[in-house]
Amino acid sequence: MFGERPLSIAPLPELWFGLGEARRLAEAVRLVGATRAFFITDAALVRTGIPDTLAGALRESGVEVGVFDRVVANPTTATLDDAADALRAFGPAAVVAVGGGSSMDVAKGAAIAGVNDGSGRDFDYRNDQPVAALAIIAVPTTSGTGSETNAFGVIEDLATREKFYVGHASALARVVILDPLLTVGLPARATASTGLDALAHAIESLAARHPNPFATGVALEVAREVSTWLPVAVEDGSNLEARSHLALASHLAGVAFASGTGLGLGHGIAHAVSAATGAVHGEVLAAVLPHLMRSNLDLRADVYARLGLALGANAAASSHEGADAAVSAVAALAARVGAPSTLTDQGVTPDLLDAIAHAALADEVTRNAPREPTLAEVRAVLDAAR
């Protein structure tokens, strides 16, 4: 019965959204009670000059700044340990995550590891930590992951090649600075894949085993925003209107799934495929989502029909027809922004499918799927997406 499952919407990070808001970074550092800041970012972003500009402004405000710029896509326990060592050497500071989901995920792990003993998987979110994480300030430079809204990060364990979740309740960002100007330089392909990730967050949150009206309302609006503005931003990366809509929509998709719905099998598969082939998270999701939605169609026809309307499909005679239109709209949007349509295009060979299916089933995110999938059902989705 509705109401039997408690809904708790916990305090989220303070959000500062708007063009130019990154100028307030020094204010955020003071707000969290720090006088020093440690950036966690990646080399590609350093080449854009964004971290240097932000660090320069902080130094002018009298804040001492350290930088770790060796975050990689699909980060591993080695990345996490390197970042933690660099932070321990620098000493206590506000941890400033500047970048996409990978930088934010590593920053959460490093903020915990920087003040606790251990390495790698010791920082699995299920382990308690004696000391609370250093304060985190998140400055996203992509519009997709929503990673700034939760206290978990996806890390690959190099020893087992499995993904696990680093995290701790104290590793939730204190302040999120969402400045669309920082996303203007993102290339078209990364704009497309991160935007499709945000759409996947909305769709998996809508269809989750335990949906709630807060997440449903937010996720439907996120889907409408992404479908409206993603093609515009992919076509013209300098369109600030599109960049602004996408920045806020991707953040709100994270707010939706952080309200307790979580995600689902799509993310279980995406984590497993990226671990196996290094494929881009949002591109795997784009190839898998239409097939996954089809496999859940009978269970989630009503909400998918509402999703279809949000994605611009015409009102349908039945919820089944409307849901079908939603599936087509998702596939069409992915194609329009140039995402690869199959897993084969992303390096998935037949010999990998069994291991991917097992890893997807074992991933905790899969527990939020509308119903517990069987191995055969996961294989069927993978086969359809090949």
List of residues contacting Zn ion (CB under 5 A): 197
Which C-beta is closer to Zn ion: that of 155 or that of 325? 155
Give residue number: closest CB to Zn ion. 197
Q: Which residues are CB-neighbours of 195 under 8 A, at least 6 positions away?
A: 143, 144, 226, 230, 233, 234, 246, 250, 282, 337
Q: CA–CA separation, 341 vs 326, rounded Å?
A: 17
Q: Which residues are CB-neighbours of 88 under 8 A, at least 6 positions away?
A: 113, 114
- DSSP run (H or E) holding 155: strand 152-157
Which C-beta is closer to Zn ion: that of 110 or that of 200? 200
Structure tokens at 326: 């939603």
Q: CA–CA separation, 349 vs 297, rounded Å?
A: 27
Which C-beta is closer to Zn ion: that of 197 or that of 283? 197
* CB atoms closer than 10 angstroms to residue 41: 28
Nearest to 178 by CA among 229, 245, 223: 245
Least distance in angstroms from the C-beta of 3 to Zn ion: 30
Which C-beta is closer to Zn ion: that of 32 or that of 286? 286
Q: Which residues are CB-neighbours of 328 under 8 A, at least 6 positions away?
A: 290, 313
Least distance in angstroms from the C-beta of 121 to Zn ion: 21
Least distance in angstroms from the C-beta of 281 to Zn ion: 6
Which C-beta is closer to Zn ion: that of 67 or that of 356? 356
> To which residue do tokens 């590593």 refer?
106
Which C-beta is closer to Zn ion: that of 305 or that of 339? 339
- For the sheet containing 136-140, what is the strand order? 14-17, 175-178, 136-140, 94-99, 36-40, 64-68
Which C-beta is closer to Zn ion: that of 156 or that of 197? 197
Judge whether 79 and 113 are in contact, CB under 8 Å: no
Least distance in angstroms from the C-beta of 73 to Zn ion: 13
Least distance in angstroms from the C-beta of 256 to Zn ion: 12
Which C-beta is closer to Zn ion: that of 203 or that of 329? 203
Least distance in angstroms from the C-beta of 63 to Zn ion: 32
Least distance in angstroms from the C-beta of 147 to Zn ion: 8
Least distance in angstroms from the C-beta of 131 to Zn ion: 29
Q: CA–CA separation, 91 vs 114, rounded Å?
A: 8
Least distance in angstroms from the C-beta of 371 to Zn ion: 21
Burial of 209 (0-12, 13-18, 19+ CB in 10 A): middle
Least distance in angstroms from the C-beta of 36 to Zn ion: 31
* CB atoms closer than 10 angstroms to residue 5: 10
Nearest to 155 by CA among 67, 98, 97, 79: 79
Which C-beta is closer to Zn ion: that of 145 or that of 216? 145
Q: Which residues are CB-neighbours of 235 under 8 A, at least 6 positions away?
A: 188
Judge whether 55 and 68 are in contact, CB under 8 Å: no
Which C-beta is closer to Zn ion: that of 51 or that of 140? 140
Q: CA–CA separation, 16 vs 324, rounded Å?
A: 38
